[in-house]
Structure 1
Amino acid sequence: MSLLLQKARGFNHSYYQPLQLAILKGDWKSTKAFLDNDSSTLTAKITILGQTALHVAAVGSEWKLVEKLAQHMPPNMLTELDLMGCTCLHYVAMGGSGSVDAAKALVAKNSSLTQVTDFKGFTPLIYSITSTICKEMVWYLVLNTTDDSPACPFSGPSATQLVTLLTAAGFHDITMYILQRYPNLATVSDSNGSIILNVLSKLPSHFQSGHNLGFWKRCIYRCVPVKLEYGKTIWNALQTLVPSIKFVRDAKLRDASSVRLVEFLCSQASAKNDCQFWQSFMSADIIFNATSSGIVEILRICFQFFPDLVWTHIPNEGYVAQVAIKNRQEKVFSLLCKMPTICNMQVLALDESNNATSHLAARIAPQVESFPGAAFQMQRELQWFKLDHQQEVEKLDHPLHKEVKNQDGKTPWQVFKEEHKALHEEGKNWMKDTSNSCMLVATLIATIAFAAAITVPGGNNQDKGIPIFLSDNTFIVFVVSDALALFSSMTSLLMFLAILNARFAEEDFVMALPEKLIIGLAFLFLAIVTTMVAFGAALSMLVQERLKWAPIPIALLASVPIVLFAMLQLPLFIEMIISTYGSRFSRLT
C-alpha cells in the first residue's frame, strides 16, 4: 500500500484517465487519437499500478485492442512487468478462449514473452491453468513455452505447481505431452508420494469407476467411440444436436487419458532401482485415497507394476480390503477377490479395536451410493453384510468372527442393527409411502377396467345381450386389453398390500420386500399400458364409421402417457432389478 501511495503522488491521473476509459470501453478510435497526439504514451505507465496501455487492455479483456496495440508497441516493451508482477501475456492467459488470438499476436511480436515470469516465478502458462481453464489457451502456451532459463518452467521450482494444476484441471493429454518431453516431471514427489498420482487419487470423477451416470448416459458411454476414425461428421452433428453425447464422450476421452497417464507414471517409477525413491513415489496416502474413492484403475495399474502395494496397511484404517469394505467400494473389492489368498488374509485380520471384517461391514457406509430409495440403500448395506446371493464379506470372513465381540462387547449383527436403525426406519416408511401411492393408481385402474367390461362400447343387443361390436376386430382388442388391465392392476394391488402387511425386519430388505415392489411396479406398468390400449380401441370403434383416420391420432395420443411413464420410471425400475438380482461384483465365488 505504501508503494502505491508513493507512486500515486507523482502520477498524473487526470492526464491518462481519458486514455484508460477509452481502452476499457474498447474504443480504438479514441485510443489511437490519444496515442497519435502523444506517442510517448504508447510505452508510458498510465496507471498507478505501473501498467502500460497494453496492460490496461488485457486487464479489461479488450482482446481486439490488445492485438492492435501489440502491432504498435516495441517488442521489448511487451515484457514489461507492472507492480503486480505481470506482463500483458499473464493477463491475456487468464482470458479464456476469446483471448487466444490476442496471445498469438503478442507472442508473434516477441517470442520470448512466454518465458517471462512474475514475481513468484510463474510463467503465463501457469496463469492459463489457474483461471478460466481454457484448454485451447493451455495447449497454445505449452507448445510455445520452452524450458530455457531463467524461467525453466518444466524443470525449475514452478514445475511442481505446473503438473499439479494440469492434473487437477483434467488436461491429462497435455500432461502426457509434457511428460514425454520432460520425463523427469513424472517422478516429481513430496512427502505424500508422487505429486501427479496424489492429485489423481483424489479425483474419482476423472476415471470410469468414479462416474455416477444415469441409465441413458451409461448406454451412451458404452456406445460412443474414443477415436472417430470413421463417421466423424455424423458424430459431430449428433454432439451438436444432443449435448449430453458430447459430455459423455469428453468424459470417456478424459478417462482414457487418465489411465494412460497412470500407466506412464508407474512405468517411469518402475524403471528406477532406488528403493528409497520408490518408497517416496508411492505412499500409503495414495493407496488410501484411491481405495476409499473407488478408483480401481489406479490400484490395478499400481498392483501390476508394484505387487507388494497390495499389502499396504493404512494407519487407523487397515488393509486395502478392509478400507474397501468400510467405504463400500465394490469394484475395488472385486479386484482384490481376483487374488483370493491375499483377500482372504486381509479379511481375516482384526484391527486395533478387535473389530473383525464383519464389524466393518456392519457399520453404515460413510458415503451412500445413489439408489432408488432408502429401502434399496438398506438392501445394499445388507448385501455387504448378510449372507445372501452375493455372499461376499460374510463368505470370506471366518465363521467364528460372526460372534466375535469388539472392544465395546458387540457382535457384528448388533453393530449393524444399531448403525442402521435410522436407515431401517427410513426404508420402512419409503416402502409404505410408495406402496400406498401405487395402490391408489392400481385401484383406480381396476375400477375403470371393471366398469368398462360391464358397459362395453356401443352397448348390447337388447334381445340377446350380445355386444353390438362383437364381430369387430377392434372390439377383440378392447376386450383382451381391458381384461389384462383388470388382472394386472389386481395383481399389483395384492403385491403392494403384501408390502404394507409385511413385518419389515432387517432381513426382509434383502429380497422379500424388493421382489414384491418390483413385481407390483411391473404389473402396474402393464395395467397402465393395457388401459390406454383399451381406451384407444373403444374410442376408435365409436368414431370409425365417420372418421376413418381417427385410430391413428388416437393411438399416438394414447402412447404419450406410456412413453412418459417409461422415460421417467424405467431407469429407476431397472436400477431396482439390478440392485436385487444383478451381480454388482465382478466375482462372486
Structure 2
Amino acid sequence: MAPSKAEDIKINSDLYLALMNEDDQEVIRICRGISMGALHTLTIHEDTVLHMAIYQKKTDLALRLLDMVLPSDIHKLTWQNTGGNTILHETGTNNKTVEVAEEILRRAPMLLNMTNKEGETALFYAARHGKTKIYMLLHDEVCRATDGPDLNTFLRRHDKFNILHIAILSRNYKIACDIATNHKDLIAEKDPDEMTALQLLSTIKPKFQPKHLYKRILFKPSKVAEVVRRYQKKKHACEWAKKITSLLIKEDSSWEKTESWTDKRGLKLYEYGGSMSATSKPEQKITATTPEANYHKAGTPLLLATICDSTEIVRAILEMYPQAVEHVDKEGHNILHLAILHRRLKIIDIVEDMEYPVERLRGKLDKKYNTLLHMVGQKVDELKEDVKHPAKELKEDQLLYERVKKMSTTIDKSLRNAEQKTPYEVYSETNDSLRTEAKEWMSENAKNCSIVAVLIATVAFTSAYTIPGGYGKSGQPVLGHKTMFLIFTISDALSLSTSLTSVVIFLNIVTSPFRFKDFASSLFEKQLIGLVLLIISVAMMMVAFAATLVLTIMTNEGHWSDMTLYGVSFFPVVVFVYSNLPDYLKMMRDIYRVHKKFVGKVVVSLRKIWDYKPQSIRPVEGHSMLRSPV
C-alpha cells in the first residue's frame, strides 16, 4: 500500500535530517522500509536519496544504496531530477565519489550519454565543476565508447558553449589543458558572446605564481600540513595555467587579421583657418555613459588581455608573437591606446621594454583621431579594488601624462582630435573636478595635521622645562646620570623638532597654487614627508613618556619588577609601530616600484663600464707611426 501524503512528508523529513546529520545507518534503515528504497525522490527538485548521498560525498553510503537496487530495477537508475541531472551527473560535483561513478557505469553505462536540460553530459558537468579525477575517468570512458562525430554530444552544449570554454571558466587549467591537447578543434570555436577560449582566459587573469602563506604558517603551526597542501595545490594550478596559456596562444593567430591604421588626411593641427574636411567632422562626444561607448570590443586576446589587465598573458603573447603588438581593433586602438585608457601601467612597461614597437606605435591615431596623449585624458569607469584619494589619483594621472608625452612625437602634443581638442585640453577638462577635490582634500588634511603637530610641539616644549626628577641645587638635572634620562632628552628634542618641521610643511601645502604639475612634482611628496615627520614626532613623544614613567617610579627592588615596568611603559610604542608598519612597508614598495626602472638602467650602465675592455692600439697598414725627434 502506497504511503499517504502526510506519511511521505514524514519519511522525506526523517531522511533529509538523517543525511544532514550524517547518520548513514538511519538512512539505510529508512530506505529499506520504503518501496523505492535508494531511488526514493527526496527533495522538491526530485533528487533521489542516491543523488543526495553522492552530492554530499558519501562514498560508502552511496555504494550501499546502489547495492539496494535490484538487477531488475537497473533501468530506474536513469532517473533525472528537475534539472535533468542523473546520479552520474552528481558524481561530477566532487572528486571523492570516483568509485561510485565506476560502479554506476558498470551497472548503467547508458548514463554516460544522457544530458541534462542544458545539454550537458556527465563529462561536461564534471568539467563545469572543475573536478579533475572524475573528469579523467569519464573522459576515458567516453573515448573508449565513442569516436569522431559522436563526440559532439560530449564536447558541446546547446548554447554554443563547448567543454573547453567551461573548463577555463571553472578555473581548472589542468582539465582545460587536457581538452585543448586532445580536442584542438575546440580552440578556435567561439561561445555565444563570440569569445574564443584564449579570450576567455584573458578576461580571467590567471595567476602564474601562488601567493605567499607565511602568516598562516607562522600563526597557525597546528595547520602547517594543511597550509602546505593548499600551497602546493595553488602552485600546481599556476603551472597548469602557464601550460594552457602557452598552448592556446600557439594555436591562436587572430591578431593577424587587423584593422588598418587610421587615415590622417584632413586632420586639424591648429585652431585657426577654415572648416574641417568631411573626414574630420566633429562627432558626438563618447563618454562612459553614452550607448556608443564600448571600449571592450577588442578583437584579439592580446587587446582583451590588456583591457582586463592580464599582464602575464600579454607578456606570453608578445614573447611568442612580437609582431602582434601592432594589432589594431575596430575603434583604431592599438595596445598602447588601451593600456593608457585603462591605466595598465605594467603593460605599458612591457611594450616600452620592447623599444622598437614604441617607435612604431607612438604616432598612431584611433578612429576619433586621438593620439596616445589624448587617451591619458580619457577614463573608463571601472570597479577598483582599492579606492584612492583624489590627490594620489591626480598625481598618477599627471605622471602618466608626462610619461606618455616623452614617448609621443612632437606633432602629437598639439594635434587636435575629432572634437577639435588638444591632448592637454582633454586632460584638463577631465581632471578639473578631480583637481578641485584633491585641493580640498589636501588643504583640509594639512590643516588638521597642523593642529595635531602644534599640540605635540607644545607638549614637547613644556616637557623640556619640567624634566623628570627636577633640578638639583647646582642647577643640574637630578636624574641626569640615568640612561633613561638621556633617552628622554633625545626623544623629546626629536619630537619637538619634527613636529615643528611638519607644521612648516603643512603650511606650505595650504598656501600652494595647486597646479596640475604641482601634484606630480612636489605636493604629494610634501604631504608624505609631513605625515612621516608627524608620525615620528608622535612616536618620539611616546618614547619620552615611557622614559619619564620609568625614571619616576622605577625601583631597585628586583629585576622582574623593572622588566614589567619597561614593558608597560613602552607598550604604546610597540602598538604604534605595529599599527603603522603596513603603511611604511607599502610606502617602501611604492618608492621601489617608481625607481626600479631607473636603478636598473644605472646598474646596466655601470656593468657596461665595468666590463669595458679597450682594444689594443695598432698602427694602420701603409702608414708609418709618428716618432718623436731624437
Quick check: 1:376–1:579 contact (8 Å CA) kept in 2? no
* Separation in structure 1 between the aligned mates of residue 38 and residue 234 of structure 2, nearest angstrom: 46
Structure 2 residue 428 is matched with structure 1 residue 413: no
* Separation in structure 1 between the aligned mates of residue 391 and residue 39 of structure 2, nearest angstrom: 71
Counterpart of 2:250?
267
* Separation in structure 2 between the aligned mates of residue 454 and residue 523 of structure 1, nearest angstrom: 23
Structure 2 residue 101 is matched with structure 1 residue 86: no
Residue 263 of structure 1, CA deviation: 0.7
Match of 1:355 among 366, 370, 383: 370
Counterpart of 1:491?
501
Question: Cα gap change, 1:242/1:406 in structure 2, threshold over 3 Å: closer, same or farther?
Answer: farther
Counterpart of 2:346?
331
* Separation in structure 2 between the aligned mates of residue 45 and residue 537 of structure 1, nearest angstrom: 75
Match of 1:468 among 451, 464, 478: 478
Q: With CA pairs under 8 Å and 6+ residues apart, which has the higher RCO, 1 or 2?
A: 1
How do 1:137-536 residues align onto structure 2 when only pairs under 5 Å count? 137-146=131-140, 147-148=142-143, 149=145, 152=151, 156-158=155-157, 160-189=161-190, 195-204=196-205, 206-207=206-207, 220=212, 240=223, 254-268=237-251, 284-364=299-379, 366-367=381-382, 370=386, 372-386=388-402, 392-461=403-472, 463-536=473-546
Counterpart of 2:612?
none
Indicate the RMSD between aligned Cα atoms, in angstroms.
4.2
Question: Cα gap change, 1:47/1:432 in structure 2, threshold over 3 Å: closer, same or farther?
Answer: closer
* Separation in structure 2 between the aligned mates of residue 203 and residue 497 of structure 1, nearest angstrom: 47
TM-score, with structure 2 as normaliser: 0.74
How do 1:8-157 residues align onto structure 2 when only pairs under 5 Å count? 16-26=8-18, 32=28, 36=32, 53-55=49-51, 65-74=61-70, 76-77=74-75, 79-82=77-80, 84=82, 85-94=84-93, 100-102=95-97, 104-111=99-106, 112=109, 115-119=112-116, 120-128=118-126, 130=128, 133=129, 137-146=131-140, 147-148=142-143, 149=145, 152=151, 156-157=155-156
Residue 385 of structure 1, CA deviation: 0.8
Query: What 5-or-longer segments of structure 1 have no aligned partner?
Result: 1-9, 212-216, 225-232, 271-275, 387-391
Residue 475 of structure 1, CA deviation: 1.1
Quick check: 2:554–2:565 contact (8 Å CA) kept in 1? yes
Counterpart of 2:551?
541
SS in 2 for 1:145: helix
Question: Cα gap change, 1:527/1:289 in structure 2, threshold over 3 Å: closer, same or farther?
Answer: same
Residue 121 of structure 1, CA deviation: 4.0
Quick check: 2:488–2:548 contact (8 Å CA) kept in 1? yes
Measured against aligned partners, the alpha-carbon deviations of 1:221-240 in whole angstroms (never above 9, x if no partner) come to: 8x89xxxxxxxx97996694
User: Which moves more between the two structures, 432-441 or 421-430?
Assistant: 432-441
SS in 1 for 2:563: coil
* Separation in structure 2 between the aligned mates of residue 180 and residue 423 of structure 1, nearest angstrom: 50
Quick check: 2:395–2:520 contact (8 Å CA) kept in 1? yes
Quick check: 1:172–1:261 contact (8 Å CA) kept in 2? yes
* Separation in structure 2 between the aligned mates of residue 14 and residue 355 of structure 1, nearest angstrom: 73
Residue 301 of structure 1, CA deviation: 2.3
Measured against aligned partners, the alpha-carbon deviations of 1:193-224 in whole angstroms (never above 9, x if no partner) come to: 773202111112x2369x9xxxxx7xx48x89
* Separation in structure 2 between the aligned mates of residue 370 and residue 584 of structure 1, nearest angstrom: 26
Residue 488 of structure 1, CA deviation: 1.0
Question: Cα gap change, 1:456/1:181 in structure 2, threshold over 3 Å: closer, same or farther?
Answer: same
* Separation in structure 1 between the aligned mates of residue 226 and residue 343 of structure 2, nearest angstrom: 32
Quick check: 1:114–1:125 contact (8 Å CA) kept in 2? no
* Separation in structure 1 between the aligned mates of residue 581 and residue 575 of structure 2, nearest angstrom: 10
Measured against aligned partners, the alpha-carbon deviations of 1:227-270 in whole angstroms (never above 9, x if no partner) come to: xxxxxx97996694799999888666544432221112233458
Residue 493 of structure 1, CA deviation: 1.5
Question: Cα gap change, 1:77/1:441 in structure 2, threshold over 3 Å: closer, same or farther?
Answer: farther
Counterpart of 1:559?
573
Residue 323 of structure 1, CA deviation: 1.6
Question: Cα gap change, 1:122/1:459 in structure 2, threshold over 3 Å: closer, same or farther?
Answer: same
Question: Cα gap change, 1:306/1:584 in structure 2, threshold over 3 Å: closer, same or farther?
Answer: same
Question: Cα gap change, 1:58/1:264 in structure 2, threshold over 3 Å: closer, same or farther?
Answer: closer
SS in 2 for 1:318: coil
Residue 427 of structure 1, CA deviation: 1.4
- Amino acid corresponding to residue 73 of structure 1 in structure 2: V
* Separation in structure 2 between the aligned mates of residue 138 and residue 182 of structure 1, nearest angstrom: 17
* Separation in structure 2 between the aligned mates of residue 107 and residue 153 of structure 1, nearest angstrom: 23
- Amino acid corresponding to residue 567 of structure 2 in structure 1: P
Residue 288 of structure 1, CA deviation: 2.3
User: Which moves more between the two structures, 80-89 or 21-30?
Assistant: 21-30
Residue 501 of structure 1, CA deviation: 1.2
Residue 162 of structure 1, CA deviation: 2.0
- Amino acid corresponding to residue 72 of structure 1 in structure 2: M
Residue 531 of structure 1, CA deviation: 1.5
* Separation in structure 2 between the aligned mates of residue 48 and residue 408 of structure 1, nearest angstrom: 60
Question: Cα gap change, 1:154/1:375 in structure 2, threshold over 3 Å: closer, same or farther?
Answer: farther
SS in 1 for 2:447: helix
* Separation in structure 1 between the aligned mates of residue 219 and residue 184 of structure 2, nearest angstrom: 35
What is the aligned-residue identity percentage?
Answer: 21
- Amino acid corresponding to residue 449 of structure 1 in structure 2: A
* Separation in structure 1 between the aligned mates of residue 155 and residue 491 of structure 2, nearest angstrom: 76
Quick check: 1:358–1:401 contact (8 Å CA) kept in 2? yes
Measured against aligned partners, the alpha-carbon deviations of 1:366-412 in whole angstroms (never above 9, x if no partner) come to: 446847521111011011112xxxxx311121122222222322221
Residue 167 of structure 1, CA deviation: 0.8
- Amino acid corresponding to residue 420 of structure 2 in structure 1: G
Measured against aligned partners, the alpha-carbon deviations of 1:72-94 in whole angstroms (never above 9, x if no partner) come to: 22473474133633212323544
- Amino acid corresponding to residue 395 of structure 1 in structure 2: K
- Amino acid corresponding to residue 114 of structure 2 in structure 1: T
Question: Cα gap change, 1:246/1:551 in structure 2, threshold over 3 Å: closer, same or farther?
Answer: farther
- Amino acid corresponding to residue 359 of structure 2 in structure 1: N
SS in 1 for 2:151: coil
User: Which moves more between the two structures, 551-560 or 152-161?
Assistant: 152-161
Question: Cα gap change, 1:534/1:430 in structure 2, threshold over 3 Å: closer, same or farther?
Answer: same
- Amino acid corresponding to residue 441 of structure 1 in structure 2: V
SS in 1 for 2:477: coil
User: Which moves more between the two structures, 515-524 or 449-458?
Assistant: 515-524
- Amino acid corresponding to residue 299 of structure 1 in structure 2: V
* Separation in structure 2 between the aligned mates of residue 56 and residue 242 of structure 1, nearest angstrom: 31
* Separation in structure 1 between the aligned mates of residue 550 and residue 391 of structure 2, nearest angstrom: 43
- Amino acid corresponding to residue 407 of structure 1 in structure 2: A
Counterpart of 1:3?
none
Aligned length: 541
